[in-house]
Amino acid sequence: MCALSGESLHGRSPTIPIGTLKAPRDPHTNPERSPDLDSFEAAAAAAEAAIRDARLRAERAVERPRAPKGAAPTLTDIGEIGGEGGVSSVLIGPLVAETEAELEGARGGDSRPDQAKGETTEQTAKAPAKAGKLARSTAFFSIATAASRIAGLGREVVAASYFGISGPMSAFTVAFQVPNLIRALFADAALQPAFVPIFTEQIEQGKVKEAFRMASTMLLLVTMVLGAITAFFILFAGLIMPLFAPGFSGETESLMIVLSQIIFPILVLLGITGVVVGILNSYDRFGAFAISPLFWNLTIITVVVATVPLFSEDKQIYAYAIGVVAGTVVQLLIPTWDLRHTPFRFSFKVDFKDPNVRRVLLLMIPVTLSLGLINFNLLINSFFGSLVSDQAPAAIDKAFRIYQLPQGIFSVAIATVLFPTLARFANRGEYDNLRETLAKGMRQIVFILLPATAAILVLSEPMIRIVFERGEFGPEQTTLVATALFWFAFSLPTNGMFLLLSRTFFGLQQPWIPTAIAGANLAVTAIASFLLYKPFGVAGIVAATAIATAVSVIAQVVILRSRLGGIEATRFIWTTARVTVGSVLLAGVSYESWNLLDQALGRGLLGQTVSVSVALGLGGIAYLACSRLLRIPELDQILSVARRR
């Protein structure tokens, strides 16, 4: 279960980035998404749209004379990508700018002829206005992403207080994962990256009526196909759903079936949303799409709080399912309302034989395979979790929510921001620069995520206690979720590298390699889970994920080394060794500090918040001091950016 970025109800991160799938090139093409992939990950999906835009602009830059060092095109690409990265983009984005400046300087500056230099004068003159627009977009997306993540965490806290990780919560977990899998295969996650480039191509060629007809046809086609799939699953849920959770029985199984029947209609809503958002992105409109995850979360919270008292105790989980459907309706209404700011008008003159419709469907195939593999991994966890206990699927899911915080903030950001640079060097055939940038990104991921792993390993239980332990979520449930989080921590650095290495393959326009590796990841996860779930329970299932991720990273590294002539392995190993020393120090200082304060302040919410915060702060200071003493260069890179901010 190689995660990706951003938060989600049943976490998915963009393990298989789709930003570079072959499609008609156009400077305004903005499909998405990365991976991630649940309703409230919409802001992360908008980031994938910017990734695609940056890459295509980079490809066009190869075909025309490059702008002078520091001119608009390079900074524009970085700004757009960083702008979608949320909180992390403030810190990580300039690192890429530094890398590009260093590499440009190494190439000897601008060697273009005077005529070529003159051709970019107008573009350079427009840079301030463009930069201002990008700065506003950056601020907006940062605020929207941060607000959505806060609301998402609030939603998880509210759900935990009402339902804990009881059998009903596990039933909901599986009931939501199955339509999410179908969604990844056929709805917005797979549809948008295929739809946007073809729709934009038609608009750019002046074939507006044809583009509108194609979009209208896709809207009707999506509604009919997904409506039929939804009807099928609702009618036969009693036969289908038990296949995904063979360990459930009795009331838990019955509840899972009914919940899936309530939730499945979101499939149609998300399919329509995929086309609508694709149209908006084609006209460079991302605002409504960026804020809709916030309202998705707020709607769910409101519905849960308002309707839980209306149900009997054994049926209260229905409120959560109804809230998801209501939130998905709101998520569709917001971008649909924004369509009035575009020239698009729905046309009843549809044409199901339109060749462009077939092109969209064909382009969906590799995306569908990639995203399907990711979501099958999630179902593997729930499948074996149901064989452990009724609580296990929900416990794994809750732990994954916390695990995704450092993953989404740092590793997804680094991979996202570096991606256009990697793609640019790949398109130019500058493999030395590509190798240097990739190696630098890998070292940054280790520098940030290895100490995060150490912190989670020693403080997993108090972290879970602070976030979830209230209401129906008791101390025993804290222990179970903390166990899952402990084992998730081992995959933090490797999953971050998996994300970056996968994007490198896509930058090299070799998308089937990471897709095949993702398939192997699925097989390793299944086999390891089968071998480990009986003797080790939840710990064995999550450990299987860490094992599969490590195997996948090794495979990626071996293949990339042969294609790039190395990835600076010696320097990476030396950096990792020094970071490990600092991380061990962080773990020791953090645990001892927390233990002393825990005894003094107790296990109340305020006491635990203070003890964990102080422990992490002191551990972080110790890590930075050790990094300075060991002269780890990644520390200087990050501090230089922080000073400028």
Tell me what pLDDT residue 108 has. Answer: 45
Across 605-633, average pLDDT: 94
Confidence of residue 170 (pLDDT cuts 50, 70, 90): very high
Residues 508, 426: contact at Cβ < 8 Å?
Answer: yes
Average pLDDT over residues 380-392: 93
Identify the band that residue 416 occupies on the pLDDT scale cut at 50, 70 and 90.
low
Rg for the chain, CA atoms, rounded: 24
Q: Is the residue at 361 inside a domain?
A: no
Q: How far is CA 436 from the centre of its chain?
A: 25
30 secondary structure, DSSP code: -
DSSP state of 64: S
Report d(CA 443, CA 633) in Å as an integer: 10
Tell whether the model's pLDDT for residue 202 goes beyond 60: yes
Q: Is position 558 within any domain? A: yes
Q: Report the range of poorest mean pLDDT among 193-202, 310-319, 467-476, 603-612.
A: 193-202
Give the pLDDT confidence score for residue 28 in this predicted structure: 39
Asked whether residue 444 is domain-assigned, the answer is yes
Number of residues that make up the chain: 645
User: How far is residue 371's CA from residue 518's CA, in Å, rounded to a whole number?
Assistant: 10
Q: Is 60 exceeded by the pLDDT of residue 331? A: yes
Does a structural domain hold residue 234? Answer: no
Helix axes 127-163, 167-186, angle to 10 degrees: 150
Number of domains in the chain: 1
Pick 315 or 84 by higher pLDDT.
Answer: 315
| Displacement of CA 581 from its chain's centroid (Å) | 30
> Is residue 566 one of the residues assigned to a domain?
yes
CA distance 536 to 389: 12
User: Looking at the domain assignment, is residue 442 inside a domain?
Assistant: yes
Nearest to 166 by CA among 390, 331, 369: 390
The verdict on residue 53 lying in a domain is no
* pLDDT tens string 205-240: 888 888 888 888 888 988 998 999 999 999 999 999
20 CB-side CA count, 13 A: 29
Q: Residue 469's domain spans which residues?
A: 406-644
Distance, CA of 380 to CA of 525 (rounded, Å): 8
Residue 43 near residue 148 (C-beta atoms within 8 A): yes
> Does some domain include residue 440?
yes
545: its two tokens: 């994920």
How far is 140 from 468, CA to CA, in rounded Å? 30
Under 8 Å between Cβ of 412 and 4: yes
Alpha helices in 389-474 (DSSP H): 392-406, 412-428, 431-468
